[in-house]
Structure 1
Amino acid sequence: MTGAMAPRPVDAPAWLTDLYTKVDSLDTEAVLAGFAPEGTMRYGSAAPMYGHDAIRAGLTWLFTSYRRIGHEFLNVWAAGSTLLVEATVTYGCLDGCDVAVPALTIIERRNGLIDDLHIFIDPTPVHVG
């Protein structure tokens, strides 16, 4: 036995799986369509982004900074309109390296759209090298 564990299936709602398929496809407009017009997003310790224009700019920056992004859900918890997602995020860096880091995302939705999405992540290991 090597100590490695096989990934276990995580019960995630279809809308969440669909959202992260769009994120992992680096599709800014498709991801943005899931946000309410007055929605907010925050990535790590960066300043919050308010509204579609700011979120679009943030997603565009993020999606052009990497050659790929992949999410593996580890746990998903729901409490009312709030969802918590624990994941391992693998960034395909422009220099050819892949770096995986843990993340926790809190998503608040209303009327089928994201009101607030806050990604708790330390991307430092992605930029070391």
Structure 2
Amino acid sequence: MKIDALRINEISAATFDWYCRYLMAMDNADLPALLGFFHEDCALQINNHLPMHGHDSIGAAFTRYWEAIDTIEHELHNIYGNDERFCVEMLCHYTRKDGSQVTLPAAVFMDRSTDGRITWARSYIDATPVHDAFTRQYA
């Protein structure tokens, strides 16, 4: 994870550490660890798709996501908000199954419960370059 140019406003060091651990679980394709960051009553929405609700639905989506890539690395640029609600601007560096690399800008909005788990996450990224490779590979 790259954070050289990161700007943060009002989130605590503990929340920043929490978010870094969340991204590491994603980068390591560690589904049990990743789902541990989500509240039981959670939702995840990607772009303009309908939200996914609950661990089963979100877990299945992440499993399909990881099947399309070899690696991902997040480069954080900005985190704005507070410990309960924040947004993150980043670059996502993907290595696809064919070995090619793609860097995509992304924005993520997170809402967390009082116990610090995700209740609602919205991710905005045009992952077409990644998914096109996945579609061609498995078509």
**TM-score category of the 2 structures, normalised to the smaller one:** 0.7 to 0.9
Greater share of helix? 2
Structure 1 residues 80 and 24: alpha-carbon distance in aligned structure 2, compared to 1, 3 A threshold: closer
Task: Count residues with an aligned counterpart.
Answer: 123
Q: What TM-score do you get using the length of structure 1 for normalisation?
A: 0.87
- 1:38-77 correspondence runs (5 A): 38-77=41-80
Q: Say which of 96, 103, 109 aligns to 1:93.
A: 96
Distance in 2 between the 1:127 and 1:40 partners?
Answer: 22
In structure 2, what is the equivalent of residue 23 of structure 1? 26
Which residue of structure 1 aligns with residue 35 of structure 2? 32
**CA contact 1:70–1:89 (8 Å) conserved in 2:** yes
- Match of 1:4? none
Q: Name the structure where strand makes up a greater proportion of residues.
A: 1
Consecutive unaligned residues in structure 2, runs of 5 or more? 134-139
Separation in structure 1 between the aligned mates of residue 99 and residue 92 of structure 2, nearest angstrom: 16
1:118 to 122, 131, 135: 122
Higher relative contact order (CA 8 A, sep 6+): 2
Task: Work out whether residues 79 and 88 of structure 2, in 8 Å CA contact, stay in contact via their aligned partners in 1.
Answer: yes
2:11 equivalent to 1:8: no
Q: Structure 1 regions of 5+ residues with no counterpart?
A: 1-6
Give the share of equivalent positions with the same residue, in percent: 29
Structure 2: distance between partners of 1:38 and 1:28: 17
After TM superposition, the runs of 4+ consecutive aligned structure 1 residues lying more than 6 A away are: none
* 1:81-118 CA-partner distances (Å, limit 9, x unpaired): 11100000011111111100000000000121100111
Q: Would you say 1:84 and 2:87 are equivalent positions?
A: yes
Deviation at 1:127, TM superposition (A): 4.2
Q: Which amino acid aligns with 1:21?
A: M
Check the 8 A contact 1:28/1:63 in 2, yes or no. no
- Supply the RMSD in Å over aligned alpha carbons: 1.7
